[in-house]
Structure 1
Amino acid sequence: MRLTKLTLHGFKSFADHTEMLFEPGATMIVGPNGCGKSNVSDAVRWVLGEQRARMMRGAKMEEVIFQGSSARRAVNVAEVSLHFDNSDGVLPVAFKEVVITRRLSRSGESDYFLNRVACRLRDIHDLVRGTGLGADSGVVIESKMIDALLSDRPDDRRELFEEAAGVGLYRDRRRSTERRLEETAVDLSRLDDLIEEVQSQVRSLSRQRKKAEKSVELTSRRFAVDVTLAARELESWADELTILHARLEELRDAVPAASEQAESAARERENAQRARAAAEAMRAELARMAQAQREQANQVERELRVAEERQRNAMSRRERADAELQDGEVLGQRVIAEREDAETERLRLQVELSAAVELLTERAAAEEESRRSVSMARQQVDAAEKILRDARDQVRRLELDREGTERELAEVLSRTSVLETEVATLADALQTVARDSDAAAELVEIARVEVARAQGALETARNAAQVARTAEADVRRRLGDADRQRTSMQGKIHGLEALDRDRVGLAPGAASVLRQRESFGSGAVLGPLSDFLSADSDAAILVERYLGATVHAVVVRDREAANAVATWHATAKPGPVLLLPLDAVNDVIVTDAALASRVKAAEPAERWVRALLGQVTPLDGASGFVDARGAIYLPGTESAQGPIQRRAELTMLRDELESLDAERARITIEAQTVSITLQSAEQAVMAAADAATQAMGEVRRAEESRAEVERRSARALREKNDAEQLAGKLAERRATLQARAADDESRAEELRAGLAGHEIVITSARQRLLGSDEMLEAAREGRTVAQVSQAQSQARVQVAQDRATRLVQEQATAAARLETLRRELSQLANADMALAEQIATLTVQLEERQHALSELDTRLIEAEEGLRAADLSLRTGDEALELVRRQAVLMAEELHQTELRHTQLEARRQNIRERLETEWRKPIVELLEGFEPLDLNADALRVENEQLRQQLDQLGPVNPLAVEEHEEEMKRLDFLAAQRNDLAEAKLSLLQAIKEIDATARELFLATFAKVRENFRQIFQTLFGGGECDLRLENPDQPLDCDIEIHASPRGKKTQRIHLLSSGERALVALSLLFGIFLTRPSPFCLLDEVDAPLDDQNVGRYVKMLNQFKERTQFIVITHNPRTTTEAADAVYGVTMQEPGVSSLVSVRLRNRNG
């Protein structure tokens, strides 16, 4: 496979149709600057699918279209085609010639063609994959790409390796698989949400289904329990009522006799009560007088005891005061003697203290003088030693600084040379990064706009779906409510129809007449009056209230038919019957206000209805009425529902059922509409979620690309600034170090000369310090002895002073105490005389009180005996009265309870009948007919009945359609679960596919990397004539993702950093790497755009030699300015000129025959 032709039309400066034919070998393209040579390399890159406008040296892709010149108008379409000879079948198509074409119009439409058939860019990439061709491959090598290949960006060199290894296809497959994996994850998440929602509905419907089934079961059981319990209660109450009636008769005769006996016993008790009250009053008065006398005697006795105790205390206190007075006088004499001795001792010790203080002052002054001498000598020694130490330290520091300065100066010179080269390299890198940064920022903004649009659409779709779900739930709820109401109404209608059909509530006599109607002749008995009446519910209530039992009247044809019925009635005795012959009633005029105007009457009973209701007027705003006599009827407790009310209610329920059916049909149509809306909304959500996910992925990739560019830019700028600043600092540092080295050497010599004199001064000062220390030690010992003597004398003086002060205080205290004791003895003598007189008076008073109290106690005993006799008589009367009254109350209470029980049982029987008929919608006779009661006792039945009622109440409202709805939702849940299982299996399959793709790509990449590494070393040795180089993976454990490091050391150099090489050396390293890749997997052709510009003549020779070596297997298209490259390596030469300003044209020269 080889390139045979390149055609251009309207591409950049090639306005006209231009063809370039290529033979095997090397084709050179030469021409002056600005004539459009590099547009050829741009055309090759562009036709192979380049999508970045900056790689086309423009701001937008439309700029590759010819913009016009001073003499020509701009064109609207740019087209470039590459023609390949595919005779060897390298490209997987059944054509010997393959033409790849790209066309771009100013409207922005870009089209690709394969052999002039429209195709996708991806189709072209798949076609040339593995051949070394591609927009990102090494087909086009520009001079600026040498720095890109050897820069800190690992992506560029990784693309070359991946293209050579053929792992690009696997990487694309991995990306495609990852996208499918992300889509599967989104679908799984969406399905999980749907499943969770449906599961919630299933759980709710399951609960509703169980409630419905449970409700039917509980209702059936409760009917059996309720009817069994009611039947047993009715049966037991019938016997009890008979017994209660007999007992009532007995009690009504016995209660009056018991009342008379109670009144007689009450009168006797009142007489005994009055006698006891008089005895009680006498006893109370005597008890009060005795209590008063006793309290007075006790008071006198207490006062006597207090006086005697005070007399004894006074005598004891006087004895203690006499003894204490004698002791105080003796103590005072002893204190006076001790005080005189203490004063004499204090004066003697004061003299000794004065002498000790004078001695201490003299010794302290001598010590201070010695201390000053020692301090002065020590300061002199310290000063001399410090001067010597500082001088030695300065000498050492200067020597070390000089050595460090010399080393640092050598290092500065070396680093300055390296930094100059590095600054130049980083400046070029910054220009490249700046262009990449602008393009990345533009892509990020475009992607963010797309994300915002997609997220807005997703949010709108989600809101619409939520609204649809809410509407669907509301419609389902309303449909369920309507079904429940319809079921309830149908049950009521069936019950009322059964009651009306069986004439439940009709009087027994009228029912018997109707059963015998055939025996009276055809048409004789027409039916009950209620069959011919119909009205609304309010009017029906008024009619039944007014008519009362007349509602059960039987309409007959005439009086003859009435006589026949009467004859039968006299024999059969079925009960009261009211007959209404049609020929016995006169027509009545009915007013609009009459009750008859609100009633619909059917023939032949219409005249009877007007006669009965035509003169009855309902009251305004009330449920009463006024009859023809003017009597006013006001309602009371509501009576049971009659046949007219029942028929009115039945009519109303039928109308409501018809309206409900219409409403249910409308809700059903609305539910279908909402369901369709919900499906559309959910599909819109899924589509919007997919779009949002794809847009976010594009933003993430664009931001990652921009972040990488910004990191490269920041790193390059930071390294350049650091390098420039460091170079300036190194220059300043070099001058400073040179000056410092000379100055340090001069100062060190001066300091060494002065060290000997400082050592002599230190020796003399140390000898003087030794003598001063000995004098200071002797003075310190003398001062210590004097200080101890002074402290001892001062302590003894202080003790003597404290003793004298204490004795003076004790003398004053003793004198005051003696005076107090003398006054107290005088007061105690006076108090003793007064207490003796008081004791004598109190003794006489106590004897008088005790005599009077003895007399009162005797009289009180007599009164209490009279009271006890009255109490006995009263208790006897109370017991008799209580017995008679208890008997009367018990009889009256029993009578009341018996009457109450009789009434309650009658009311209960009626309530049970009415409750059963109302609740179970049948007459009591039909409920009990053929019913088999449960075999349980009454208590168990009541407990179970209450439990069943509570369970039904706890169930709450029941959805009768829950079973059908539950089955539908379960089918939907099973379908969604099956879909989720399929997606989960697909996810596992995709993950396994990614693992297999990674394993295959890793194996191919490592094999290719090893080959490229070996080829790179061989070619490097050839181009540089020696040296070392290597390729290394930054992280061998992750070969598909880690950076690829390039290490190169030309012969005679030890540097390993690529960016420290010269531009020519960097170019040779890049060429070595490219040719190493070509050796591994040669491309059909390679376009070199001025890559030999930085090479000198010697390296150009090596470069040409390498071209000649490789052009046997790879076509080379070389854009160059170097005449040696053109003459020594070219097989054909194209000259690019601009004979017309702004328009490029070709001139070709074929050299193969000449050279060969």
Structure 2
Amino acid sequence: MRLTKLELHGFKSFADATNLVFEPGVTAIVGPNGCGKSNVSDAVRWVLGEQRARLMRGAKMDEVIFQGSSARRPVNVAEVSLHFSNEDGILPVPFREVVITRRLSRSGDSDYFLNRAPCRLRDIADLLRGTGLGAGTGVVIESRMIDALLSDRPDDRRELFEEAAGVGLYRDRRRTTERRLEETTGDLQRLDDLINEVASQVRSLARQRKRAERHAEIMTRRFTVELALAAREMEAWREELGRLETRLVDLRAQLPAAESAALDAEAARDQAHGGRAAAEAQRNELSRLVSAQREQVQRIRGEMAVAEERQRNASARRQRAEAEATAGEQTGVQIAAERENAAAERAREESELASAEAELARHQEAENEVRRVVAEARNAVEGAERELRELQDRVRRVEHERERAVRELDEVRQRADALAQEQARLDDALAMTRREHEELQVEVDAAQAAAAAAASEMEEARAADRDVREREAVARAELFRADEALTALQGRVNALEQLERDRVGLAPAASRLLRERDRFGEGAVLGPVSDFIAADQQSALLVEKFLGNSVHAVLVRDRDVADAIRVWHGEANPGPLLLLPLDAAAEPSESGREDGLESVVDAVGLGRAWVRTLLGRVHALEGGSAFVDARGAVWLPGTATGPGPLRRRAELTELRRDLTTLEAQRQAASRTADAMRESLLASERRVLEATEAASVAQLQARQTLERQAESSRRVARATREAQEAATLAERLAARAAELGDRHRALDADTAALTEQLGARQQAIADARERASVAERSQEEARELRGRWQVRQAETRARVQMAVDRERRLAQEVSTATQRLAQLREELSELALSDSALAEQMASWTLDLETREATLSDGEASLAAAEAAVRTADTALADADHAVSEHHRRLAAASDELHHAELRFTELSGRRAAIRERLETEWKRPLEEMIAEVPPVDLDDDALRMEAAELRRQIEQLGPVNALAIEEHDETMKRHDFLVAQRADLAEAKASLLQAIKEIDATARELFLATFEQVRVNFREIFMSLFGGGECDLRLENPDAPLDCDIEIHASPRGKKTQRIHLLSSGERALVALSLLFGIFLTKPSPFCLLDEVDAPLDDANVGRFVRMLNQFKSRTQFIVITHNPRTTTEAGDAVYGVTMQEPGVSSLVSVRMRGASTEASLPLEPVAEEAAVTS
């Protein structure tokens, strides 16, 4: 597996599509500063999944998209692709080539592709797992890593080791696990508080449950007693209903004869309907036939008109075709002559073309000879320039090393000054840290006191919440009882209103008169006398006893209406009926007694006069068992009957008043329940706020303790850093003296190389003059060859034009011949069409005469059918009259049946009232309840007394939470669930603690294994680069490898073992490269990109670096971004040049492949875009 190509489009400075092809070995990428070379390494890191914008040298990830330049607009999409050869099958996909692509748009959409198919970053990571490739691997080694290794900050150095060991993943897992552990601990604390709260609710609901169970026992006995009473009352009415049902059967048996007669009349009417329908069907059929004949006549006439028009059009077409045929024959002769002329012209042009091609070949041979001479001259120039560049490279290296020595000397002096300031700062920081540690102890004490106070407030809020919950439960029970009472009373009111609307209990004749009152006119029949009396139930009972059947009397407007009703009564015979005309009523001359019936009722409406007439000066005797009027006449009523219409209206009025009172009570209970719910919500909020406050206080206390521990660690760290700064100051002083000597030696080397450079430049000027003369000769030969190429092209164009003209004329001859044949065929077809149309016209003329005769006969038959329809209409009207008469007789028979049904309905209404009352109260079918009631061995009076006692016990029991049993069960389930949840959380906490131990053990094992492997690799590479010496890696605290510092010790050959801070900058860079390669080799990848890691190296160290690349390139493919010409020439198997000919836009300008037949120039400064790019 190896990298074969990198594609960039719109990535950073690579605005255009750019392809870099890689071969095995070392590929070098060179170019001046700021041309965008390092963007190549950013592109490789980015396409492998890097998500940190900081490592992309930006603040936001969308900064990798080309931002535009002075001459270009920004692009909207950045895309990078890596091509891998998978011939060895290392990647687990069935492809010989694998392409990984990442695309980012300015809208924020980020997409990944695998072989151009959309995928996820996880899919790419899974594919590359085990290959050493990925965003977090060491596939890209850059100069900042050298700085990190040489930095005085141990965290930067440790980060490189942890990335190689893969410990970062375990650190993330540990942080995630610790966060989950903290959340689990908090959940356990909150769950303990919640369990205590629910346990308190369970105790309260247990007391409420006992009262609810006692209430249920009493209601069960009351159910038995009241259902036993209802069963006995229902049985008392069952026998009377049986007799009424038998009578109804007899009456219903008399109706079939009347119905049969009505059916016979209807059958006769249906037969008349059939005759009328048949006559109408015959008339419709004749009408349809006549219409069809008319349409046929019109169609034939239209077709004859169309045929005449077709004959005229055919004649005109025939004349046009004959004229066109004559013109076509003349055109064919002319085209044939033009074709012969075109053939002759083509022959002449082909001869001239052959002559031009021969002359062009001669001039091309001459130009090739001149080109060979120019190539030799250019090769001489290139050889001289190559020698000059090598000398310039030596000059630049010496100057670069001298400048580096100056910079390093300045750097050492600056570091020494900065170190002195750092020592002062560390002393101040140590004192400040100790003061902060003391202040934090005070904060710890305050935070712990606040946590204790918050816990106390939380307990008080929970106690208040329990009290509010009990009062809210009582309010809900009161509301429930109010709803039950309101529902029962509303059911009773609805039942009485239905009976009132149906006039149940009113005399049958009066009830029927009220149903048919509209036939006597509006306002004629006013209503029964009971509608005009308002009284309470006791007074209504007295009035009904006195009036007897007169309570069913009906008030009418006047005597005329009474006469009309009498006529109707004689015809309908509905039964006894008492009428009270308003104009017949006389006001009593004297006012009634104060204890009379008139004084205990209210006469309302138009019936006021009749009420006073009927009840005037009448009072009750012996408690209402008898009555006496003003004349002394004594009324002795018989046995009392059931409630009459007056008592029912009085009961309905009282029930409506009770309903209004109950609704007000229910609204008050609802308001109380709502208020208690609001109080409960407020109490719950207070409990929640107190709990959260306690949690926050506890969290703050823990955080303060953590800050105190962190402060202790900072004190220890500050002490250690102060000691290290003192040691480093001594080393920097020694290094400054060494750098001063090196600078003076490099000044002498620079002067000698400058003299050699002048001689080389004069030799190059002479070679360029000779090359210039040869290039002028080449230009003259190229110009002459160009003229003959133009002449050849012009001749070839004329030949092609002649060929095209000859081909076009041949096509025109063929087209004219085909058109002439078509015209002759069209003339023949027109002749045949004229003959056929003439025959068709004759046939249509005969058919038209026949159809016009048939149409006349059909219109006569249609008139006769319409007369038959009128006769059938007369017969149907007679049959309708007979049906109406029979239905009138059937209605008279039905009235008699209605009177019996009315009585049956009255008794059934009483049974229904009892049923409705019980079913409304107990919410169950009556039969089902009676079936469940066991036999009761008590008489009716005893049952009534027991029912009253049970009601008294319910009232004495007081408000009961009807939902207490369910709430107690649900709360117990919740309590058990919370206890189980706490056990799960405790188990989860133990599991998380174990997971942290396992993560620490795995991370420690991985880190130590990687550290030892890096240590071995570091020693091997160090010995190879320096040709001897000693080096080592050490852990500051081997017992805590995951947290301690890593020390680097290196001693090149001939020097004593010492820390790398005292080595020269080049030696330090080479040591860092040794370590970076040692880290890379622990997890080798198919390729490695080195981004300007050789910049700090001098000439000798560059040679060592090149030898290292040549040593490892057989195992790993290297891509080196460099400024150093020696790295390029000695190590590079392929070289790419990057430049910015257009400001702000990077472009690929040149490449050289080792072993190729030709080798393009590779300048370090921008070159022309025409430079060849080969692979």
TM range (shorter): 0.3 to 0.5
Structure with larger Rg? 1
What's the TM-score once normalised by structure 2's chain length? 0.41
